[in-house]
Amino acid sequence: MQHCDTLILAGWCIPVEPHDLVLPDHGVAVTDGKIVELLPTGEARKKYAPGVLVDRPDHVLIPGLVNTHTHAAMTLLRGIADDLPLEQWLKDAIWPIENRWVGTEFVRDGTRLAIAEMLLSGCTCFSDQYFFPEIVAETAEDMYMRAVVATPVLEFPTPWADNATECLNKGAELVHDRYAEHTLISSAFAPHSTATVSDETFGELRILADQLDKRIQIHLHESAQEVEDALAATGERPIERLKRLGLINSSLLAVHAVHLTDDEIRLFADTGVSVAHCPNSNLKLADGIARITAIHSAEIPVGLGTDGAASNNLLSMPGEMRTAALLAKAESEDATALPAATALRMATLTGARTLGLEEQIGSIESGKWADLACIDLMHINSQPVYDPLSQVVYAIHPQQISDVWIAGRHQVENGALAQIDQADILRRSAEWRQQINGQLS
Amino acid sequence: MQHCDTLILAGWCIPVEPHDLVLPDHGVAVTDGKIVELLPTGEARKKYAPGVLVDRPDHVLIPGLVNTHTHAAMTLLRGIADDLPLEQWLKDAIWPIENRWVGTEFVRDGTRLAIAEMLLSGCTCFSDQYFFPEIVAETAEDMYMRAVVATPVLEFPTPWADNATECLNKGAELVHDRYAEHTLISSAFAPHSTATVSDETFGELRILADQLDKRIQIHLHESAQEVEDALAATGERPIERLKRLGLINSSLLAVHAVHLTDDEIRLFADTGVSVAHCPNSNLKLADGIARITAIHSAEIPVGLGTDGAASNNLLSMPGEMRTAALLAKAESEDATALPAATALRMATLTGARTLGLEEQIGSIESGKWADLACIDLMHINSQPVYDPLSQVVYAIHPQQISDVWIAGRHQVENGALAQIDQADILRRSAEWRQQINGQLS
């Protein structure tokens, strides 16, 4: 018998790579936070003497879900301003509240709430754009959550930095500091949008990101208004401008990408740009429906994202998978578009690829981090089970996530946070509501 | 002190009528299955001596959700055939399986699974179209679930009837039989679609439904193909044909209504036709996106429906509310379209109206049946709470439904079925899967 730290046995395993494969009665052996082997349950029981055995016969084991775009701390603003258009939502509702309240404690408490929500719904890695990225990184590390912490870059003063130069300096410091070669935390740069960053700053950012070998993510062609405003202001569409500035390349993650022409899709495909597709946020803000079938067909890597809770209002990756799969069919007028296996792949391995993490996470393969999620199908709404892959995408509720592991650490157990003080998070959230509400009224 | 059978106290009550109202700390007194009074918690505690007190301080109490369109027994085919276009899905997958398997036991077991799922997600009334409607009615009555049981009408032979005349006779019998004045069960007629019913049968149906004072519901303009095929076959669009046959009137519930011209919207508004909007099913089958903002603006009553589990694949009314609210914004390119309060109203009172039940259910008002649902907001994904109405539509998972009452009977308690043998339902579902899978392979 061979030792392993943890042996997880499941009714079905979906490794994602190879594509579209469901393995009944399989197990995963984990040691030192990494996947050692995926093998049939019978063999696993004979071969391994595990420190901990987790037996989940009615469950599907999948790679942990990867949320490629969020603003975690905005959970504290969940539902504070709904049913408004993007520009008005930002300028009249969100930005004034952020300017008044956002600081280190807001970001810490909001990020904790967000990480708890993401863990409970099977997400094991999130890519975050928000002020005080050093607090986001620290909080993720404290809670043992995998995160890509992107440093925001904006010209105008925010509660976190006075100008773009300060953003870049702070970002560079974050990268060089403790997170250079970290198990859980990696970093990136996040110019907010082309409307809020100058040509000069983009130029500096490009050089800095190249030097540090960091990826860049940006809200791009989210609304028709954004594209029109840019054309009016600069004579260029945002993508055109980024191309001129040398940022359209394989280090770029285009967030939203709702309004793309055929030429822009081709450009992304030719240059290796990735896309973070946030279907529920795009619907809620009436941005439109991304041409995800065409984008995917052009072999552009597409990850899924929840966006912030203020424009969703959930951080539920199972929900994004389902919506992405359903919406693609309507958008392309083709019911065969974006089948279940493809939706799950976007939410895991391809998502990891858009963040530069495809060698480390996103599939159940030997040598990768043991970032895993287990889903209990023995619920009325998931029965009967003809095809576990169909259930995972089309017929579960997020609260069926029974177990989550991050680099082998058992973070969610029997549907509850195993290592995190949920009561404290709820208490702090209620305090923030009271404070912010007092200010509003 | 005044006696009442049950007093439910909640952190917030949303009565739906008056519109867009949230009442903090309110209670509902229930006696003989009906709502006696809605009043502030402090007053309620002083005024009523309840047989049972249910105290839910972190919860929102809403009227039970009304599912205006489903085929309940098709839960047994959940996920058996995904990612196919409507025509192929029906003709190659669903119909052959149904012809082989559908009988009284299939309908009983499938309907039980569906009712369990609907109850657990806060639905207290469903409108069903399926074979063996007498079994659907019997099952709903047994389980104490409110149902509108619509008798299917088709020309061609099915496992249930040989032809349309037999359908009509069986429907008339069902209506006159034990469900004439029933607390829970009412009935209607459901010609499947214009493609499957002759002019002659529509004529007979119209006379029969008039005589019996019953409403008619029909799949109408669900896909572009359906409209084109009808034009090719008869020279008329389905709505045009129904108008000629005298069926376009206030007794008609048009299910789906995805492809409506401006003139058809005006016709519905002028004649009092209602619409059952099934957004997730329409997406999944790539039918298109209903023009629900225009339909709602024309003051056409719009209810929400899940459709059958084979094309969704959930029977989750919270999910339909959320999708309806989000999709309307994208469809109309207006983020203010279909705000939360309107989505909740469609899922309750307006849904009840489309089924002719608005005097009996759909809002928390004295004299109505106590069909109620309670939602626990003390979950990570629903915190903090600035606006409970926003949370109910945008930020809950269905498994937060803690309690459900049907005509005062406590059917779901602390998130579990209180009166129903869930294990038996799961066992029977697994048996059906095994049987049907054996046949498929």
pLDDT for residue B95:
87
Q: Using an 8 Å CB-CB cutoff, list chain A residues near B422.
A: 380
Rounded CA separation A245/A265 (Å): 18
CB contact under 8 A, A433 and B384: yes
Q: Which residue has the tokens 């489903």?
A: B70
Position B438 confidence tier, pLDDT thresholds 50, 70, 90: confident
Length of chain B: 441
Mean pLDDT (chain B) is 96
Mean pLDDT in residue range A137-152: 97
- Say how far apart CA B401 and CA B59 lie, in whole Å: 9
Checking if the pLDDT of A441 tops 80, the result is no
Q: What are the tens digits of pLDDT across the range B334-392?
A: 999 999 999 999 999 999 999 999 999 999 999 999 999 999 999 999 999 999 999 99
CA angle (A289, A294, A298) in 5-degree steps = 140
Give A113→chain B minimum CA distance, Å: 7
CATH number of the domain at A65-354, please? 3.20.20.140
Chain B residues lying within 8 Å of A316, measured CB to CB: 381, 397
Prediction ipTM score: 0.97
Asked if the C-beta of B232 comes within 8 angstroms of chain A's C-beta atoms, the answer is no
pLDDT of residue A175: 74
pLDDT of amino acid A177: 66
Share of chain A above pLDDT 70, in %: 99
* B283·A330 Cβ contact <8 A: yes
One-letter amino acid at A67 equals: N
Options 2.30.40.10, 2.60.40.790, 3.90.1150.10, 3.40.640.10; CATH for B2-63+371-407 is: 2.30.40.10
Asked if residue A77 has pLDDT above 70, the reply is yes
Measured between CA atoms, how close is A89 to chain B, in angstroms?
10
Q: Mind giving me the DSSP string for B91-137?
A: IIIIHHHHHHH-SHHHHHHHHHHHHHHHHHTTEEEEEEE-S-HHHHH
Q: How far is CA A121 from the centre of its chain?
A: 12
Chain A positions in Cβ-Cβ contact with residue B313 (cut-off 8 Å): 390-391, 394-395
Q: Which residues of B touch A333 (CB under 8 A)?
A: 286, 288
Q: Tens digit of pLDDT for each residue in A174-207?
A: 876 678 789 999 999 999 999 999 999 999 999 9
Q: How many CB atoms lie within 10 A of CB A60?
A: 25
For residue B441, what pLDDT is reported? Answer: 52
- Looking at beta carbons, which residues of chain A come within 8 Å of B309? 395
With a pLDDT cut of 90, the percent of chain A lying above it is 93
Average pLDDT over residues B407-411: 98
Cβ distance B335 to A116 less than 8 Å, yes or no, reads no
Looking at the complex, report in whole angstroms how far the Cα of residue A176 sits from the nearest Cα belonging to chain B.
Answer: 34
Q: How confident is the model over A54-72, as pLDDT tens digits?
A: 999 999 999 999 999 999 9
> Does A441 contact chain B (CB < 8 Å)?
no
Burial of B207 per CB tally in 10 Å (0-12, 13-18, 19+): exposed
* Element spanning B2, H or E: strand B2-13
CB pairs A-B closer than 8 Å: 200
Average pLDDT over residues A146-169: 96
Render pLDDT for B121-148 as a digit per residue (tens, 0 to 9): 999 999 999 999 999 999 999 999 999 9
A-proximal residues of B, 101-130, CB under 8 Å: 113, 116-117, 120-121
**Which pLDDT score is estimated for B437?**
87
pLDDT band at A215 (very low <50, low <70, confident <90, very high): very high
What is the Cα–Cα distance from A154 to B167, expressed in whole angstroms? 67
Q: What is the pTM of this model?
A: 0.97
Residues 347-366 of B with CB under 8 A from A: none
Query: Mean pLDDT over all residues of chain A?
Result: 96
pLDDT digits (tens, 9 = 90+) for B234-280: 999 999 999 999 999 999 999 999 999 999 999 999 999 999 999 99
pLDDT interval class at A31 (50, 70, 90): very high
pLDDT at B119: 98
CB contact under 8 A, A78 and B395: yes
In this complex, is the C-beta atom of B60 within 8 Å of any C-beta atom belonging to chain A?
no
pLDDT for the residue numbered B28: 98
CATH fold for the domain made of A2-63+361-417: Urease, subunit C; domain 1 (2.30.40)
Query: From the CA of A70, how many Å to the nearest CA of chain B?
Result: 15
Which tens digit of pLDDT belongs to each residue from B87-127?
A: 788 888 888 999 999 999 999 999 999 999 999 999 999 99
- Domain(s) labelled CATH 2.30.40.10 in chain B stretch across 2-63+371-407
Mutate which: A120, A394, A440, vs B, most B CBs within 10 A: A394
Residues of A in contact with B296 (CB under 8 A): none
pLDDT tens-digit profile of A249-277? 999 999 999 999 999 999 999 999 999 99
Average pLDDT over residues A326-352: 97
Asked if A422 reaches chain B (Cβ–Cβ under 8 Å), the answer is yes
Q: pLDDT: is B55 or A441 the higher one?
A: B55
Does the pLDDT at position A78 exceed 80? yes
Distance from CA of B363 to the nearest CA of A (A): 23
Q: Are B47 and B369 in contact (CB under 8 A)?
A: no
Question: Does the beta-carbon distance from B383 to A426 stay under 8 Å?
Answer: yes
pLDDT at B440: 59
| pLDDT at B194 (0 to 100) | 96
Positions of CATH 3.20.20.140 in chain B: 65-354
